Amino acid sequence: MRQGVQRKGYPPNGQIKQELEKKYSKFWLGNSVRGISLQPKDSVMVIGDQRYQLLGLDVVKVGVSALLEDDPRAPIAIYPSTLEMPGGPPMASMKDKVTDVLNHELGHNNDWDASQTLSTPERIMLLAEVTERYLSSDRFFSQYVESTTFDADPHKQLYRRVSEYWAELTRNYFGINQEKFIKEHPEDAALVAKWYEKVAH
């Protein structure tokens, strides 16, 4: 009874798992991701005097759980309000919505900070290349990245925007409009393709 209500219409885990395994290499999915959970309710985390609403676990990253459990891979948790992230294509189903968000979150888990695959020089190179793309005038325009204030400090704000920009690139590259994205943003698409390959080899 309550269980059904709490899941808020999320698709069955098996369906999501199958779809992800069909699309992604096991390296992208497993090397840097401990697991994926669909949370029934939004959650707020307090650090110091700041309150963070947990969305896709962008905020938590590896941190405490890695120390406790000796597993450096970050988990991904999806909350209901995560699914309201702007900029996604029109969604036919809840499964598509969840997959769309995971395309973004899996990008975070495989970025220069959270990846458990990339070497230190590779991490630096990835960050530099994504930053360069983000500072290019012909970059892919993500409403979410460009209009969100992530931090009052301008340096931290730039860093967060570059992080989110990378996740938005993976979201679109692996999304249902992949073909359109590759055609309209060849440089951004090539960047994702290049680093996806590196993770797999």
Nearest to Zn ion of 98, 167 (CB atom)? 167
Pull the structure tokens for residue 151.
Answer: 């931090």
- Tell the smallest beta-carbon distance from residue 107 to Zn ion (Å): 8
Of positions 29, 58, 97, 165, contacts Zn ion by CB under 5 A? 58
Among 38, 74, 126, 167, binds Zn ion (CB under 5 A): 167
Span 94-123, contacts to Zn ion by CB under 5 A: none
- Least Å distance between CB 186 and Zn ion? 23
What does the alpha-carbon distance between residue 145 and residue 134 come to, in Å, rounded to a whole number? Answer: 10
Determine if 76 is a binding residue for Zn ion (CB under 5 A).
no
Q: Among residues 15 and 148, whose Cβ is nearest to Zn ion?
A: 148
Q: Cβ closer to Zn ion: 101 or 199?
A: 101
Contacts of 184 (CB under 8 A, 6+ apart): none
Binding site for Zn ion (CB under 5 A): 58, 164, 167
